[in-house]
Amino acid sequence: MPVTPPHPGEPAQPADALHDEIAHLHHTGRSHRAVGMAVGLASVRFACTTAQARRLLVRVSHRTGTDVQTVAQVLVSTHDGTATAEDRRLLTILLDHLPPAGWPAGPWPRDDLER
């Protein structure tokens, strides 16, 4: 596909750069979402407050050298049943730093809830 300038008059950007930028933006969006969900998940799983759950994510992040967004995404995707092979590999590292209750893995049966 030919490269397109984002605004009139602006020089065109290399296709790879655009692709990278878009991938980054989407990753950012998903990361925001995953952190919120992971905090909710952890607060139930480990019977703690929201603040404690958030601190847990940060602590696991520091101890494993993994950014918080990635920690959150791995926890959410594992629970959600959408984990990739890389997610599962990372989870084995994270589990050493999570409370002993461990982390449940989906998929879960879908209820046909009333809409």
Partner 1 sequence: MTIDATALADSLRTLVQSPADDGTLSSSLKLVVEACVDLFDVDGAGILIADEQDVLSYAAASAGPGRLLERMESEAGEGPCTESFWQAKVITSRDVTTETVRWPRLAEAMVGQPVRAVLGTPIQLGGVTVGTLDVYRERVHDWDDSEVTALARYSEVIATTLAAALEAHTAGELAKQLQYALDYRVVIERAVGYLMASMGADAVTAFQALRSTARNRRTKIGTIAEHLLDTGSLPA
Q: Decide: is 30 part of the binding site for partner 1 (CB under 8 A).
A: yes
Neighbour tally for 60: CB within 10 Å: 22
> Of 86, 88, 89, 106, which one interacts with partner 1 (CB under 8 A)?
106
> Of 7, 65, 92, 102, which one interacts with partner 1 (CB under 8 A)?
7
* Cβ proximity to partner 1, 35 vs 71, nearer residue: 35
Q: Decide: is 91 part of the binding site for partner 1 (CB under 8 A).
A: no
Phi-psi region of 113 (alpha: psi -120 to 50; beta: other; left: phi over 0): beta
Q: How far is CA 72 from CA 4, 6, 19, 25, 41, in A?
A: 35, 32, 24, 17, 10
Interface region with partner 1, contact rule CB under 8 A, candidates 10-18, 55-63, 83-91, 92-100 = 10-18
